[in-house]
Structure 1
């Protein structure tokens, strides 16, 4: 990957923005939302930025940039319309080990800002590393239509219950299964208030705990991951252990749950692997190339009452 994805805490961190035009306006807006301590250097200032300075939301130093200006800052943004000046700012900051962003110039950036979907505290970031901003915007628009507006409510409420739920479930696995069940409840998906969530949460805590038994999900894969069914994707996200053909750790494995254990298999020994994992009451996802499911595996699915999810392509 060209850039490592990371979220930074900028609360009260000293950030320097060099430039006072339209580009600086956009970046300052983001930095203010992150509660950064902003200093802006520019001979002139956009009226919007001037308003922020007058309201003490940033510190404006009315002057031309000098190399010593980057000293003492945690992060630097070069937003001027003079390419050579932006490159000088980058060099000055890099010499001091300061992370710097030269706007619209990925080759002179220690970090870049992705396109963001903000459902605070849930944030989704999308980036092409500067290769295709229009494509990133298109992806963002598609995701906006898929992500519910009440994500902020759900995230805030569930975060507040982290200590409370430990009184009922002692292990991480038990708590994870509870939350998986909780978030899929129709009344939770459509909730608009904390009271609605609390009613469902309390009701689920008093429900008898589901018996934990091993489950086997056999997912046929093909050449195109977009042809996976919604059911297949859901089961791949629920599985605690993923088995994939040896030498084929590809995009289908990446679509499985990130914290699931992953293990390669050979066809000659996969039945034994599955049996051992099911005896541990684990949810197992077996990835099988399309049209290669052996008869004995189909029999194993029947014996374990496990779904065989075909590839749609």
Structure 2
């Protein structure tokens, strides 16, 4: 992983943008959307920025850049001019103050980079190639834009409004997580057009109760991770415990739920002990074994399993 992905809170935080051209327009627009207090330093600025300044949405210092333009209060500095020497000077000045700085289209002079974004209100998806292939990133973004439903913003706002009240009905974190898994997997929710519809489904789901029953789902891995079925991926995201053979490729394990416990095994007896303990706790378990292994057939009895590429 070349860059650590991070969403930064810029609401009501001071940010400096050096430059007033087309690139500055894009950056200032994004910064204002994030609630930043933007100051622009440039002898002249684009008409779009002029309009923002006139509306008092950002501040303009109308003169050439100098080192004393950078104040320690800034949390970010952006160098967006078409003069590399000036941009590099901005970088040096910012670093002297310990401020994060981005010199646009100049990776060696960037403490951070900005990804391509898919926005659905509270839901944001960031995509980056580390500067290697902007066109590839754009293609990925276009794919996601066509797949993700437009009502994600509505659903996210509704879920946020219930963060406190749901605790009265479901006191434990585990109960609430399972409730939201059931709720969000409903086709009624995914097709909802209004908050009233979401509220109706919410009340109905609470009355129905939370399915806290455990499961054991076996996934027989092979050489091609792309042969995993959607059903397998769904179980992998719901599992509380991932049991995997020591030879299982990490790519399979890494697609599992991030906060699930991950435990390796190397023999059927070792796995049997771990499965027995998990079942006694009524946990949701996914087990990864090789598609070429027949050593675990008895343990699989009465459980559900999938081979890579199988239809489900």
2:126 alignment partner in structure 1: 125
2:110 alignment partner in structure 1: 109
1:311 maps to which of 286, 308, 311: 308
**Would the alpha carbon gap of residues 209 and 13 (structure 1) be closer, same or farther in structure 2, given more than 3 Å must change?**
closer
1:15 alignment partner in structure 2: 15
Superposed, which structure 2 residues align to 1:227-238 within 5 Å?
A: 227-238=227-238
1:140 alignment partner in structure 2: 141
CA deviation map 1:269-309 (0-9, x unaligned): 11221121111100111111222242xx333222xx32111
Structure 2 portions without partners, runs of 5+: none
CA deviation map 1:30-68 (0-9, x unaligned): 011011111101112111111111111111111111112
Q: Supply the distance in 1 between the matched residues of 2:291 and 2:146 (Cα, whole angstroms).
A: 31
Q: Supply the distance in 2 between the matched residues of 1:24 and 1:290 (Cα, whole angstroms).
A: 54
**Would the alpha carbon gap of residues 48 and 293 (structure 1) be closer, same or farther in structure 2, given more than 3 Å must change?**
farther
Q: Supply the distance in 1 between the matched residues of 2:34 and 2:101 (Cα, whole angstroms).
A: 17
CA deviation map 1:7-48 (0-9, x unaligned): 111111111000110000000110110111111011121111
Structure 1 stretches of at least 4 aligned residues deviating more than 4 Å after TM superposition: none
Worse-matched range after superposition: 240-249 or 74-83: 240-249
Shift of 1:165: 1.4
Q: Secondary structure at the match of 2:153?
A: helix
Q: Supply the distance in 1 between the matched residues of 2:100 and 2:59 (Cα, whole angstroms).
A: 20
The number of aligned residues is 308
Structure 1 portions without partners, runs of 5+: none
TM-score, length-scaled by structure 2: 0.95
CA contact (8 A) 2:175 2:210 kept: no
Q: Secondary structure at the match of 1:167?
A: helix
CA deviation map 1:192-216 (0-9, x unaligned): 1000011011011111443x33311
Kindly report the root-mean-square deviation, in angstroms, between the aligned alpha carbons of the 2 structures.
Answer: 1.4
Q: Supply the distance in 2 between the matched residues of 1:197 and 1:209 (Cα, whole angstroms).
A: 17
TM-score, length-scaled by structure 1: 0.95
